[in-house]
Amino acid sequence: MLSNFYNKFSELGLIDYFGKTLNIKKPEILKGIGDDAAVVKISKNKYLLNTCDMLIEGKHFRKTDDLCRVGYKAIACSLSDIAAMGGKPRFSLISLGIPESFGFTDIKSLSRGIKKACDKFSVSVIGGDTNSSHKLIIDVSIIGFVHPRNLVLRNNAKPGDYIFVTGSLGGSIYRRHLEFLPRVKESQFLTNKFKLHSMIDISDGLVIDLWRILKASGVGAVIFENLIPIHKDAKGLKQALYMGEDFELLFTVSEKEGRRLLDIIRQGKIKFPLSFIGKVIHKKSQIQLIDKNRKPKMLKPKGFLHF
């Protein structure tokens, strides 16, 4: 997926450029470009979250993929972004580019998948746009809400923080990337019970998404090979570190909260898979992996980028 385009100006560089150029400051914008979702203050006790994700045939799914699963994924990706902010999704707009070859059966399949994801998380599709297109394009924007005390950004990881990740990583692209369950309920559980310092959803790979937290927070991290939860579909550690499309939550909490969380995990009181994988350190944006022989290795921030 890494192409010439990526080499020319990576997604990261582009986002920085747009962030600098297009973000007119307004007092109610608490977070603009540069997190999983934008945050806008609506009232003292309510912040609005807004995010979008575009899926393009041939880039994010294959022409031969089941359209029901494609529709499901299109919604689920944006739900995962809302979860990564600690929020609850509520409304959606869907823009479609529809191939002229599509029949009504195709529309129904796509729609069934969209509905499946929306129903599961009580999201209402309130609008959209339809166009004909060479390839199938689905762009989903979602509005969610979050109570200020539940809001978690990327840029507040602190040295000493414990790093956790939900689920297991790698090999998603072989199957489950079209049917993953966005961690909306898990995010609600975590943000209601614990004070999270920083959070992101793993869309492009553990290492690059961890790097995004570290870069935004001005810190580094050390992670342990033997603690990384590798999915059974993954062909080894490398895929768990770099493959992406996992849509798991990666977050940091203070040491104190981290110990409390580990206790609760040990007591079997958490009903979803959750792993401690490392700690936040001072070194800015650096990621150290401690391998099974206790040898440290520097990891470069690369991953699955949509270019």
Subset of residues 173 to 212 that bind a copy of itself, contact rule: CB under 8 A: none
Residues contacting a copy of itself: total by CB under 8 A: 74
Q: How far apart are the first and last CA of the chain?
A: 6
Nearer to a copy of itself, 60 or 197 (CB): 60
Strand (E) or helix (H) holding 288:
strand 287-290
Nearer to a copy of itself, 5 or 291 (CB): 5
Nearer to a copy of itself, 137 or 280 (CB): 137
Please give the Cα distance from 112 to 109 (Å, whole number).
Answer: 5
Nearer to a copy of itself, 143 or 223 (CB): 143
Give the bridge partners for 29, in sequence order: 40
Name, in order, each residue with C-beta under 8 angstroms of 294's C-beta and a sequence gap of 6 or more.
none
Nearer to a copy of itself, 58 or 268 (CB): 58
Nearer to a copy of itself, 71 or 171 (CB): 71
Confirm or reject binding of residue 8 to a copy of itself (CB under 8 A).
Answer: yes
Q: Are strands 88-99 and 124-133 parallel, antiparallel or unpaired?
A: parallel
Stretch that binds a copy of itself, among 26-34, 174-182, 232-240, 275-283 (CB under 8 A): 26-34
Stretch that binds a copy of itself, among 96-104, 155-163, 241-249, 274-282 (CB under 8 A): 96-104
Strand (E) or helix (H) holding 132:
strand 124-133
Confirm or reject binding of residue 17 to a copy of itself (CB under 8 A).
Answer: yes
For residue 244, the minimal CB distance to a copy of itself (Å) is 14
Please give the Cα distance from 280 to 259 (Å, whole number).
Answer: 14
For residue 167, the minimal CB distance to a copy of itself (Å) is 23
For residue 278, the minimal CB distance to a copy of itself (Å) is 29
For the chain, give me the number of helices (H) and strands (E)?
8, 13
Residue for token pair 């999704």 = 89
Which of 130, 149, 256, 291 binds a copy of itself (CB under 8 A)? It is 130
Token output for 247: 């849509």
Please give the Cα distance from 37 to 81 (Å, whole number).
Answer: 6
